[in-house]
Amino acid sequence: MNTNFLLTGFSFKTEKQKKNLALAIWLLATVFCVVQSLITHRYNNYLIFENTVRNLFAQQSFYADYPQYHFDSNHYGPVFSVFFMPFAAFPTAVGFLLWNVFNCLVLFWALSTIPVKKHNLLYFIVIPCFVSASLSQQFNPAAGAFIILSYTLLNKNKGFWSAMLIMLGAFIKLYGIVGLAFFFFVKDKKRFVLYLLLWGIFFFVLPMLFSSPAFVVNSYRDWAISLVHKNANNIAEASTDISIMGFIRTVFTTHAIPNSVFLLIGIGLFGLPYLNFKAYQKQRFQLYVLASVLLFPVLFSTGSEDCTYIIAATGIGLWHIYAQSDKLKRVVFIVIYIFSCDFPLLLFPKLASTYPILLSMMSVPFFMVWLLIIYEAATLKKEEPNYDDQLSGLQMSAPL
pLDDT at position 9: 42
Alpha-carbon span 336 to 307, nearest angstrom: 14
Length of the chain: 400
Residue 383 pLDDT level (bands cut at 50, 70, 90): low
Lowest mean pLDDT, pick from 91-95, 129-133, 218-222 = 129-133
pLDDT above 90 for 86 = yes
**C-alpha triplet 371, 106, 83: angle, nearest 5°:** 105
Mean pLDDT of 100-118: 94
Q: What is residue 120's predicted lDDT score, i.e. its pLDDT?
A: 86
72 found inside a domain = yes
Domain range holding 135?
A: 13-388
Kindly state whether residue 8 falls inside one of the protein's structural domains.
Answer: no
Q: What secondary structure does DSSP assign to 365-388, as a single string?
A: HHHHHHHHHHHHHHH--TTSPPHH
Total domains in the fold of the chain: 1
- Name the nearest CA neighbour of 265 among 114, 342, 374, 161: 374
Give residues with Cβ within 8 angstroms of 258, minimum separation 6: none
> Does residue 399 lie in a domain region?
no
Neighbouring residues of 83: CB distance < 8 A, sequence distance ≥ 6: 168, 172
* 4 in a structural domain: no
Q: What is the percent of the chain where pLDDT is above 70? A: 84
Q: What is the DSSP string of 66-95?
A: -TTT-SS---S-TTHHHHTHHHHTS-HHHH
Distance CA 106, CA 27 (A): 12
Model pLDDT, residue 306: 80
Sorted by sequence, the CB contacts under 8 Å of residue 107 that are 6+ apart come out as 126, 130, 141, 142, 144, 145, 310
Cα separation, 68 vs 52, whole angstroms? 14
Residues with Cβ < 8 Å from 328, sequence gap 6 or more? none
**Residue 27 within a domain:** yes
Q: How far is CA 126 from CA 123, 169, 275, in A?
A: 6, 20, 30
Listed in order, strand segments (DSSP E) in the chain are none
Residue 175 lies in a domain: yes
- pLDDT for res 155: 87
What is the structure's pLDDT at 253?
66
Question: Range with the lowest mean pLDDT among 79-93, 125-139, 194-208?
Answer: 125-139
How far is the C-alpha of 19 from the C-alpha of 335, rounded, in Å?
25
* Alpha-carbon gap, residue 357 to 380, rounded angstroms: 35
Helix 326-340 to helix 309-322 angle, to the nearest 10 degrees? Answer: 170
Spatial distance between the Cα atoms of 30 and 263, rounded to a whole number of angstroms: 34
122/112 Cα distance (integer angstroms): 9
Per DSSP, 9 falls in state T
> Do the domain assignments include residue 239?
yes
- Domain membership of residue 395 (yes or no) is no
The average pLDDT across 298-310 equals 86
Confidence band (pLDDT; 50, 70, 90) for 7?
Answer: very low
Angstrom distance (rounded) from CA 45 to CA 159: 33
CA 207 distance to own-chain centroid: 24
Mean of the per-residue pLDDT values of the chain: 85
Range name among 9-13, 114-118, 377-381, 389-393 with the lowest pLDDT average:
389-393
Measure the N-to-C terminal CA separation of the chain; round to a whole number of Å: 35
CA distance 145 to 134: 14
> 188-209, pLDDT tens digit by residue?
999 999 999 999 999 999 999 9
Kindly report, residue by residue over 213-265, the tens digit of the pLDDT: 999 999 999 999 999 888 877 776 655 678 888 888 888 766 677 888 899 99
User: Given this model, what pLDDT does residue 100 score?
Assistant: 97
* Residue range 34-74, pLDDT digits in tens: 999 999 999 999 999 999 999 999 999 999 999 999 988 99
Q: How far apart are CA 299 and CA 175, in angstroms?
A: 12
pLDDT, tens only, 158-169: 999 999 999 999
